[in-house]
Structure 1
Amino acid sequence: MTGDATTDRVLAALLAMQRQSWEQGVTGHALLDLGLGELAVLVADAAVTRQHPEGRLGDVSGEAGAVNGAACGEVVRYAATTDGDPRFTAALDAQLDWLVTRAPRAADGTLFHLLDSRQVWADTVYMVVPLLALVGRTDLAAGQVDGHRRRLFDPRTGLYAARWDEDRGEPDQPQPWGTGNGWVVAGIARALRLAPDWPAGLRAELAGHARTVLDACLAYRADDGLFPDVLDDPARSARRTPPSCSGTRR
């Protein structure tokens, strides 16, 4: 596939696995970044085949995520512009309609991560901000970063909490989850790369914010290059294989 044996083994294992919608989206991003367009179209086709009637791409029966399907939007847009099958365009339009007008959200427009609770999660930044930027809605993309930042970002530490409970008006999981902070940094970075027409001042502000979070994370990197699951937990900082939060995310 790529000519690199390690990368090809990882891709073969990944493509052989059952994937949730967010995993399908990240797989599509990896394929696009590697220049594997034909495989990317196959991933897009699967995401469209499993699209929920409400518009959420890549929906697997039982998923409670309100926003994760949007991660598939980039690869579906690629398929729409290269394959020519109108179903890709229709599927992308439905996903955007769900995201922009119908997905559950707070009064200020900040999206809730799940269908069945009023919680704001750091993960959402990666799931929705790049796609919104890619389709030219940099205003909405910036608004989502702002809404998540106001609820989850701690300027004293430079890190994001994992989850916010809108009804209680406080963090539900105040710990700085390592992967959650990674979602934020990666989501902003991908959005800035995908949309070259950001207003200059806004681009610089978002890039600076992402750098602040990244620098704060790097302070907790262990000697082996790994990060603890909870960044500021000294009991876990020396683990070579940090425990994953993926078992509890939706």
Structure 2
Amino acid sequence: MVPPFSLVKYDNPVLVSRVDSGKAVSTGAPNSPAKGGVAALPGTPGAKKLPPVTDKGRVKTASQTEEILTSILPSREWEENNQLWVQKVSSTPATRLDVAILQEQLDQALQKRQAKETGICSIRRDLYNQTFDELIRQVAISCQERGLLLLRVRNEIRMTLAAYQTLYESSVAFGMRKALYSEQAKVDQSQKIVQLEAEKVTMEHTIAELRAKCEGIEKREMERRAMDERKHSEEIAFLKKTNLQLKTQLEGILSPQKK
């Protein structure tokens, strides 16, 4: 699979091995650039160059520069038609024109891939990461120490962004859990309200029944009390009448004896 387009400059891809009649044959001959819009800087890869001299007079060999570039930006490998291709990052110094072309390619890639201008956008972040890697490559060729320091800054930025992303994802997950808990609590409260309303209706019916029963008991008790009072009044009247009769009889008996 051919690697996708990248803003980082790579050398022409090199065929590492191929399958020929069941045997793996190794080769180091460069081939044409890979498909997918991978750009390569002008100049023949592997051509002899004079080793640059640092500010302190120490000579930097091409192999040392390539080792540092490889440690910063690893080579890309892919298989195509049962062939293994390797593409190393370019060690050709960049010019002001290359920087202008890089900026133009960045703008075109942002527009082509429809990256968002503001807010969180993975496409814009990926393109700017590629641009930063290309700038690190350009700086590391002229000054290895500055390139390694920029690599350290890049790694710190990526680590910080990864921490923010983890925090954001955990916050989103926490918010989703809280939202689900709230929805579940809302459903539970709704069910509880329905249950309490049903209990309220049942209790209202029970209260109505008990009130009717209490009124019936009060009515029966009032009737029984009225009956008892009437019976008691009749008994008193009967006793008074009986007393009066006995009194009259007693007076009738005592009257002849006094004479």
Under a length normalisation based on structure 1, what TM-score does the superposition of the two structures give?
0.30
Under a length normalisation based on structure 2, what TM-score does the superposition of the two structures give?
0.29
From the two aligned structures, give the one with the greater helix fraction.
2
Highest CA radius of gyration, 1 or 2? 2
